[in-house]
Amino acid sequence: ELVNLNELYNYILDRFDMMLKNEPEDSKKNKHYSIKRDFTRRELWVEIDTDKFIQVIDNIMNNAIKYSPDGGVITCRLLETHSHVILSISDQGLGIPKKDIGHIFDRFFRVDKARSRAQGGTGLGLAISKEVIEMHGGRIWVDSIENKESTFYISLPYQEYEEDLWDEA
């Protein structure tokens, strides 16, 4: 369906903000984080499967939390080029070793088995995310510096709708 991406992205991130608010203040179990949003103010409408898209962002956000120390900042961006919308999610976490970057979207691949096992998970999240994004004609990729940061990018094809064209005329 045709979806307002600004709204949907905000909705997904709101749920992550809510999870923090709803936990007891002295909770040692859950990791803390703060989310920074940097969105274009222009409304971006894209043709996507909402449920599948939510699954993708949920996995990338959960990874950003899971593979970062307590108290990290997660920066979420939304911008457009003339032909694509681009979403990005940056964390200040463990990062991904250079040699592993090419495998991160493979099924069951996890960086350093020992490190990942302690965190729980199957190693399927990103493989599924890639499938979903490519099904929508988009691309997903990552930039990372080990022990410092990771940024996941998603681009989706986008055409300006008539209203936007009128605005600019």
Question: Pick from 20, 24, 22: which is nearest to 34 by CA?
Answer: 20
Question: Pick from 43, 61, 40: which is nearest to 3 by CA?
Answer: 43
- Residue window 95-134: x/- pattern of binding to ligand ATP, with contact defined by CB under 6 A: xx-------x----xxx----x----xxxxxxx-------
Kindly state whether residue 87 participates in binding ligand ATP, applying the rule CB under 6 A: no
Whichever of 42 and 103 has its CB closer to ligand ATP, that residue is 103
Kindly state whether residue 125 participates in binding Mg ion, applying the rule CB under 5 A: yes
Within 8 A by CB and 6+ apart from 100, the residues are: 109, 111
Instruction: Return phi, psi of residue 163, to 5°.
Output: -55, -45
Residue carrying structure tokens 């490190």: 115
Whichever of 72 and 138 has its CB closer to ligand ATP, that residue is 72
Kindly state whether residue 67 participates in binding ligand ATP, applying the rule CB under 6 A: yes
Whichever of 102 and 137 has its CB closer to Mg ion, that residue is 102
| Sites of contact with Mg ion (CB under 5 A) | 59, 63, 125
